[in-house]
């Protein structure tokens, strides 16, 4: 169970964030409203939420998940794969101090975005992506091994981050889209296959027995509910325009 979350408010420069999709420019005011509702949803799932100040120097910094991996035993500050995002880690490292966990940091030549990291109990699957390299994965493994965790890499072909296309919903259930539906590494899971028309909803988030699902993806929401979960929908359309999903907007621990 999670007790805490950390988010970072969107900054006005959000409109200049990195994007590879063609869904238009995000509306900053709407993004702020959606972010406030997202915080309400986290609070509604029983989490105590720390909200970091916006930082206009880093347009993508609201996607805080990529900058830090929080486990029960330790914290790993990442080294984001995109140069424009590298300086985002300083603020999160500072904000994690009061949580009193040992802190480690990925260093050059390693790169790692924690959107590529999916925890399944004591194992961490890590996407080998355009943002996360083999050196980053090796360093993560060295950091986590002493705590009894294991790590394995998964090559990605068509998504930005591993969790863009697959989400662990606990109870051995994986919500999976595209290449992950038939990924041999995932053959022991119960796969909930996301329809091609709803690929974005593959990034849904399990929090304390409920699943946050992006608004507007009814097939996926029904699929998740049919497997016994309560869902909560959150509209994150302005973040979708920057290739960001529900999970990237918070750290949960
Ligand atoms: C980026 O390209 O880095 C941001 N525009 C979106 C990051 C999304 N993060 C995630 O999927 N974990």
Pocket test for ligand 1, best of 62, 64, 66 (most atoms within 8 A of CB): 66
Average pLDDT estimate for 54-70:
98
What is the CATH classification number for the domain harbouring 168? 3.75.10.10
pLDDT at 253: 98
Atom of ligand 1 nearest to the CA of 80: 3
Average pLDDT estimate for 177-204:
98
Distance from the first to the final alpha carbon of the chain = 8
Domain that holds residue 111: 4-252
Using pLDDT thresholds of 50, 70 and 90, give the confidence band for residue 23. very high
Whether 7 contacts 38, CB under 8 Å: yes
What total number of domains does the chain contain? 1
- For residues 132 and 95, give the distance between their C-alpha atoms in angstroms, rounded to a whole number: 23
State what percent of residues in the chain have pLDDT above 70. Answer: 100
Ligand 1 centroid to residue 117 C-alpha, Å: 13
pLDDT at 63: 98
Ligand 1 centroid to residue 11 C-alpha, Å: 15
pLDDT tens digits along 80-95: 999 999 999 999 999 9
Average pLDDT estimate for 205-228:
98
Report which DSSP code applies to 171: T
pLDDT at 67: 98
Tell me the ipTM for this assembly. Answer: 0.98
Ligand 1 centroid to residue 19 C-alpha, Å: 8
φ and ψ of 122, to 5 deg: -100, 10
- For residues 107 and 94, give the distance between their C-alpha atoms in angstroms, rounded to a whole number: 17
Is the pTM higher than 0.90? The answer reads yes
Report which DSSP code applies to 54: P
pLDDT at 177: 98
Query: Catalytic: 74?
Result: no
Using pLDDT thresholds of 50, 70 and 90, give the confidence band for residue 47. very high
Query: Catalytic: 173?
Result: no
pLDDT at 71: 98
pLDDT at 179: 96
- The residue annotated as part of the active site, out of 35, 45, 161, 173, is 161
Pocket test for ligand 1, best of 14, 63, 214, 252 (most atoms within 8 A of CB): 63
Whether 83 contacts 38, CB under 8 Å: no
pLDDT tens digits along 167-187: 999 999 999 999 999 999 999
Ligand 1: which residues within 6 Å by Cβ? Answer: 17-19, 60, 63, 65-66, 82, 85, 115, 160-161, 164, 242-245, 248
Ligand 1 centroid to residue 87 C-alpha, Å: 15
Average pLDDT estimate for 206-216:
98
Whether 211 contacts 169, CB under 8 Å: yes
């Amino acid at each position: 169970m999670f007790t805490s979350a950390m988010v970072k408010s969107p900054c006005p420069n959000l409109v200049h964030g990195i994007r590879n999709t063609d869904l238009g420019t995000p509306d900053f005011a709407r993004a702020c409203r959606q972010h406030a509702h997202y915080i309400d949803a986290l609070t509604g799932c029983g989490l105590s939420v720390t909200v970091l100040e916006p930082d206009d120097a880093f347009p993508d910094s609201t996607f805080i998940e990529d900058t830090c991996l929080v486990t029960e035993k330790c914290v790993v500050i990442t080294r984001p794969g995109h140069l424009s995002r590298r300086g985002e880690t300083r603020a999160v490292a500072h904000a994690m101090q009061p949580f009193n966990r040992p802190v480690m940091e990925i260093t050059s030549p390693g790169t790692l975005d924690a959107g590529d990291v999916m925890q399944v109990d004591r194992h961490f699957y890590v996407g080998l992506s355009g943002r996360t390299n083999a050196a980053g994965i090796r360093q993560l493994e060295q950091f986590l091994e002493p705590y009894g965790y294991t790590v394995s890499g998964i090559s990605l072909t068509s998504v930005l981050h591993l969790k863009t296309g697959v989400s662990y919903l606990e109870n051995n259930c994986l919500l999976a889209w595209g290449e992950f539906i038939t990924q041999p590494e995932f053959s022991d899971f119960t796969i909930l296959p996301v329809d091609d028309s709803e690929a974005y909803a593959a990034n849904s988030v399990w929090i304390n027995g409920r699943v946050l699902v992006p608004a507007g993806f009814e097939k996926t929401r029904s699929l998740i509910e049919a497997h016994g979960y309560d869902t909560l929908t959150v509209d994150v359309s302005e973040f979708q325009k920057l290739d960001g999903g529900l999970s990237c907007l918070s750290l949960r621990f």
